[in-house]
Structure 1
Amino acid sequence: MDMGSLWNFFGLPDPEGTSPDSASPPPQAAAAQQPVSLTASQSEETLAQSPSPAPTLPVNQEPDLSRLRTPPLGWNGPVTPDGEAFHDLGVERQRRPQLPNKALRYIAPDVMKRIPTTAMLERVLQGDTAIVDLRSLVHMESHQMACRREIKHMADHARVSVFSLDSEDKLLMIPGQNVVVDMQKHELGLTPLL
């Protein structure tokens, strides 16, 4: 198997530009059909007896353009001798890292034990997911309930749901706008772990 057909076997263009149709045919094996002798005089006679065909060179033969492909529009990479686009997998290209447009925000009550629901609403509408931690309000059960109601009101205004991440409802998650939460395949709280 020659290399041209190996390249074509894998669907790649031939890097040398020769097609399997234009490859030279194997030489005639007329001398191989006659018995081989060990003396030089007989081999010279057999060479003189067998007429060798004159090699024919193609004269003004135009290449077959029907098999050539043009590179895609806007292609600025290397091109094979056949004119096809060549994808060099060894070339490393640096792309600008895209700035993330969504974030995960951790929110805890401030010094005055308040939750900034107005700023939280803006971030949730932008697509950020908020994790609200009410565990610092340990001995303030009524204040925890007031914060939960305020968070629920903010989530209703943003048209998203509030999810509890623990069994005491002290760690709450508010997904951002266009954030998908799988509610079928999750286990929340510490009870399933025990």
Structure 2
Amino acid sequence: MVNLFRLLGLPDPSKAASPAVTRPKRSADPGPQKNDSFHDFGESRWEDRTKRMMSKPERFVHYVKPDDLHRLNLHGMEVRLTAGDLIIADLGSLVHMPTQQDVCRRRIQTLGEQSGLPVFALNEADTLLMIAGRNMRVDTEKHLLGMAKWGQLSEDENQSGESRL
């Protein structure tokens, strides 16, 4: 006679149950093992390699916003603009103080005039202002920002809507 339990793939209850083999629980992350190939990127050889491959940045983006006394610290920014840095001033925290916002806006405009660079408003409320540094191009029609030395804006894109800095 055919064993029905065996036919269905079930254990046969007439046979004594063998003791279950307990296996240790395994983790998805077993942790460090012997002879693992591990690279510590903090080692000096990796740091030296990275320094050789990447040059130090020459230009920076300065994000300026009013301090606790609602003043803009623009000290030394004229030098940074002549070095080619980009300044973005966020006056959004002064929405409830339109007079102080106008004072800060005038200071940014004065900084742009002293540097001979135009000031651009990046939003409708004129609370986000940008001064692009030396050798930067701003296309006011297509809203592109690029660097003159890299030629990010091709000459056919340089129409009357562009301000060359």
- TM-score normalized with structure 1 length: 0.46
Q: What's the counterpart of residue 138 of structure 1? A: 95
- State the AA in 2 paired with 1:120: M
Count of aligned residue pairs for this structure pair: 95
Counterparts of residues 24-173 of structure 1 (less than 5 Å): 95-173=52-130
Q: What's the CA shift for 1:134?
A: 0.2
Q: What's the CA shift for 1:169?
A: 0.1
Q: What's the CA shift for 1:186?
A: 1.9
Distance across 2 between alignment mates of 1:132 and 1:186? 18
Q: What's the CA shift for 1:104?
A: 1.2
Q: What's the CA shift for 1:133?
A: 0.3
- CA RMSD in angstroms, aligned pairs only: 1.9
Question: What SS class does the counterpart of residue 157 from structure 1 fall into?
Answer: helix
Structure 1 gaps, min length 5: 1-92, 188-194
Distance across 1 between alignment mates of 2:99 and 2:57? 38
Q: Which is richer in strand?
A: 2
Which entry has the higher C-alpha Rg, 1 or 2?
1
Structure 2 gaps, min length 5: 1-48, 145-165
- Pairing partner for 1:176 from 133, 149, 158: 133
Distance across 1 between alignment mates of 2:132 and 2:141? 16
Distance across 1 between alignment mates of 2:93 and 2:78? 22
Q: What's the CA shift for 1:143?
A: 0.8
Q: What's the CA shift for 1:96?
A: 3.1
Equivalent pairs: percent with the same residue? 40
